[in-house]
Amino acid sequence: MNIFLVRLLTLCILATFVTCDPPAVPHKSNYNRKTKLVENAAGTPRGECPNDQYTGSGMVTSPNFPSNYGNGDSCAYFLTAPDGYVIQIQFITFTTEACCDFLYIYDGPSPIISPLLVRLAGSNLAKTVYSSSTRWMSMQFTSDQTNNMQGFQANFSSVDTANPCNRDVVIAIDGHSTLGTEANYHKQIAFAANTLVTNWTVGSTGIQVGPVLYFTDESEEFNLDDAQSVSDLQNLFNGFRQHPIAGQDLDSMEVAFSLVTGVVDTDFPFRQGWRTGIQRVLVMFLSFPPNDDADLQAAKVYTDKIISQGAIIVLVGLNSNVNITQMIPLSSGPNYVLGVNDVSQLNAAFATSISSALCQLPASTP
């Protein structure tokens, strides 16, 4: 036998990761600047991917729509809503090869790291609506090498899908003796549990709420994901009733905000359950004013940091001791400070005002 053939046969047997087939012809792609199509080696057109970044609201389509998409397409779409909103997408038309050409929709910023929401293929999907659970949605469209069709067209928008809105909220209950009486303290808790949150959509895909009780120089906190329903949340609030009201030597605003804002501060992630891509809100009930200018400025150090991280601070004065105007610098702005002269004035209308405030976006939020 020819010695060259013997050596070739030996190499083929020993090289388990190498075949003895003839070398493949290198794949060639040609980009035509005029038509903006890419052709594979066999000459089959591949569609140009649309713009991959989308914000707010608008329309997304498959490559070349309303003409057919190409063969071997692979296009990514990244949709972003403003802080405090989620993405909702509704298909106007959808026609792909049912077996082989797919649109994957992911509940998050990237197809690589986000959970799959749905995989779509075929037809008759017009007017179907899908929503993300955060401000981000991403999609990936792929087609095989045969039987391309018209594809899809869809409208997307930034919306609220929960009542009162898609937020992660900390509600801080005041446990200080500046409330006046134990009865007033219990009225505050009853308002939060039985009036404020009664109609909220509480849960992992709605509004997540973590109750906090702050008193003297301590706080009792619950995680945002400890309450998966309104009933769960009410039970957590009512558990605060076992704590009597207490006072500090000086009811310090600095101490109060150091206790409460620590659970909202992303640098101190004490609280579990914050969702990436969801607006963070602190709703804080207050029954006392700052001791002096220095106390106010010391508290402001905490609130400025929280606001700079993109969170909203809503402050609720519980009696005439609280100067609403004085609280504005500690909040996200004048529209985020509310108050009553007495806790007995906490009612359904006032609850609506609080819900409206926490659903607003500051003017500086993109």
> In CATH, what class is 45-159?
mainly beta
Residue 319, SS3 per DSSP? coil
Average pLDDT, stretch 83-98?
A: 92
In the chain, where are the structural domains located?
A: 45-159, 167-359
Q: For strand 86-95 and strand 151-159, is the pairing parallel, antiparallel, or unpaired?
A: antiparallel
| C-beta separation of 140 from 101 below 8 A | no
pTM, whole model, 2 decimals? 0.75
CATH homologous superfamily for the domain 167-359: von Willebrand factor, type A domain (3.40.50.410)
186, pLDDT greater than 80: yes
Q: How far apart are CA 55 and CA 32, in angstroms?
A: 29
Question: Which of 42-46, 56-60, 237-241 shows the lowest mean pLDDT across its residues?
Answer: 42-46
353 pLDDT more than 60 = yes
The answer to whether the CB of 321 falls within 8 A of the CB of 277 is no
Mapping DSSP onto H, E and C, the string for 248-298 reads: CCCCCHHHHHHHHHCCCCCCCCCCCCCCCCCEEEEEEEECCCCCCHHHHHH
Mean pLDDT of 33-51: 51
Indicate if the pLDDT at residue 41 is higher than 60: no
What are the tens digits of pLDDT across the range 97-152?
999 999 999 999 999 989 999 999 998 676 678 999 889 999 999 999 999 999 99
Cβ pair 48, 69 in contact under 8 A:
no
Show Cβ contacts of residue 83 under 8 Å, excluding neighbours closer than 6 positions. 135, 279, 310, 361, 365, 366
326 or 36: which leads in pLDDT = 326
Cis peptide before 66 (omega within 30 of 0): yes
315 to 138, 188, 268, 303, 363: CA distances (angstroms) = 35, 14, 21, 11, 18
Joined tokens for residue 110: 């990237």
Does 273 or 321 have the greater pLDDT score? Answer: 321
Q: In which element (H, E) is residue 157 found?
A: strand 151-159
44: pLDDT strictly greater than 90: no
**Whole-number Å distance between alpha carbons of 214 and 221:** 9
Q: What is the mean pLDDT of residues 151-176?
A: 93
- The pLDDT value given to residue 364: 53
Q: Which of 222, 218, 229, 292 is nearest to 258 (CA)?
A: 218
Percent of the chain with pLDDT over 70: 83
Whole-angstrom distance, CA of residue 288 vs CA of residue 285: 10
- In percent, the amount of the chain with pLDDT more than 90 equals 64
Contacts for 254 with CB less than 8 Å, ≥ 6 apart: 290, 295, 298, 299, 302
Contact 236, 222 (CB under 8 A): yes
Could you check whether 45-159 and 167-359 share the same CATH topology? no
